[in-house]
Amino acid sequence: MNEVAPRVVIGMDPHKRSVTIEIMTGDESILGKGRFGTDREGHEAMRRQVMAWPNRVWAIEGCQGIGRHVANRLLAEGETVVDVPPKMSARARVFSTGQGRKTDATDAHSVALVGTRMSGLRPVINDEQLAVLRILADRRRSLGEEHTRKMSQVHHLLLELIPGGAKKDLSAAQAKALLATVRPRDIAGKTRRRVAAELIADLERIYQRKKAANKELNALVAATGTSLLDLNGIGPSGAARLLVEIGDITRFPDNNHFGSWTGTAPIDASSGDNVRHRLSRGGNRQINRVLHIMAVVQLRNPTEGRAYFDRTKARGKTSNESMRLLKRRLSDIVYRTMVNDAARHMTTGPGGHRGNDSDSSAAGSQPHTSSSDKPLPGPARNQPTIPHAAAS
């Protein structure tokens, strides 16, 4: 009879030019290790070393960041890959021997330990639709950052050309009209005006690219069948970011665990008889930013979010505390919307009609529904609807 090959976990610490791996069995015995380049020759050498263990799982740190490029290559080759969050590997490194020293070898060892000990690590899947959304969402974000940087330079130059400068919310067309009224006579002034005109021309091109990117993102997000675009304060870029970062919403047992992951669950900061909570600085900061923009949009308009914010301040909360509570409610609404979308998708399939099972309609996009303001949740008691592949 053929013996079943033992299952091994290959922990990897990835970098741009090199990766360090460690091969570990279920009883945490080390079978091999090595450092390889990320070019074609190095990748093939790494594959040859692990061929002796056909029953293998790759545990890679930071598959949504620096480890994405090598994870995608392994997925294309039919390998099984799970994502190890950097915080988990950091904790394993601190509690392992060696006084928590950080080297590539110790990082690979801690990643392998997490992959061996932890079940339910998020599997990395080759979803082309989400991959395209991620690329376009990253591109849209870079365009926004470039627009902000260049507009800041324009404001700086206009301040030197015009007493008092320009208003804060300035469009490229308004900056162009304002610059047309300036006729400096000195060399330095003329140079400032010329550079400002070049920057404004760049801003006009960036605006057209942003407009095209928004249109493309809007079509791709709509094709997923998500209801996120119905929420007040969520645009195509924010919806795309939510979809690509969250992936399978059922991996979160409830809204409290989702709030912890988004960094909107409050942290208990009570002392004595003074019971209070403060904002969390942890969690996924990109998703936290999407929720923050959502909150700001609702605060700028006569929405239920604005009314809720005002009610919390009337109860004696500070502005920061009221913003925390608002973002927590919005996190719950996003969670409920995506759970309803997932349930509808499983019921009707892709492109199915929207049913009446959703608690988050256009009106439900406002934070008037009941929500938990609890701090960080305890251990999950229930498992996700769709179980994930374990690495052990």
Closest CA to 35 of 51, 46, 24, 47: 46
The reported pLDDT for the residue numbered 268 is: 77
Q: Could you read off the pLDDT of 29-44 as tens digits, one per residue?
A: 999 999 999 999 999 9
Q: What is the mean pLDDT of residues 13-33?
A: 93
Q: Are strands 18-25 and 30-37 parallel, antiparallel or unpaired?
A: antiparallel
Give dist(CA 294, CA 142) in Å, integer.
Answer: 19
3-class DSSP state of 82: strand
The reported pLDDT for the residue numbered 271 is: 79
Q: Are strands 81-84 and 56-61 parallel, antiparallel or unpaired?
A: parallel
Average pLDDT over the chain, rounded to whole?
Answer: 84
Cβ–Cβ under 8 Å, residues 239 and 228: yes
Residue 190 has pLDDT above 50, yes or no: yes
Scored b (16 or more CB within 10 A) or e, 279-305 reads bbeebbebbbebbbebbebbbeeebbb
The reported pLDDT for the residue numbered 364 is: 41
Q: Could you read off the pLDDT of 42-51 as tens digits, one per residue?
A: 999 999 999 9
Q: Which residue in the block uniquely carries the two structure tokens 């990082």?
A: 107
Higher pLDDT, 22 or 347: 22
> At 126, is the pLDDT very low, low, confident or very high (cuts 50, 70, 90)?
confident
Give dist(CA 72, CA 77) in Å, integer.
Answer: 9
- Percentage of residues of the chain with pLDDT beyond 90: 54
The reported pLDDT for the residue numbered 98 is: 56
Angle at 19 between CA 115 and CA 87, to 5 degrees: 45
Higher pLDDT, 182 or 387: 182
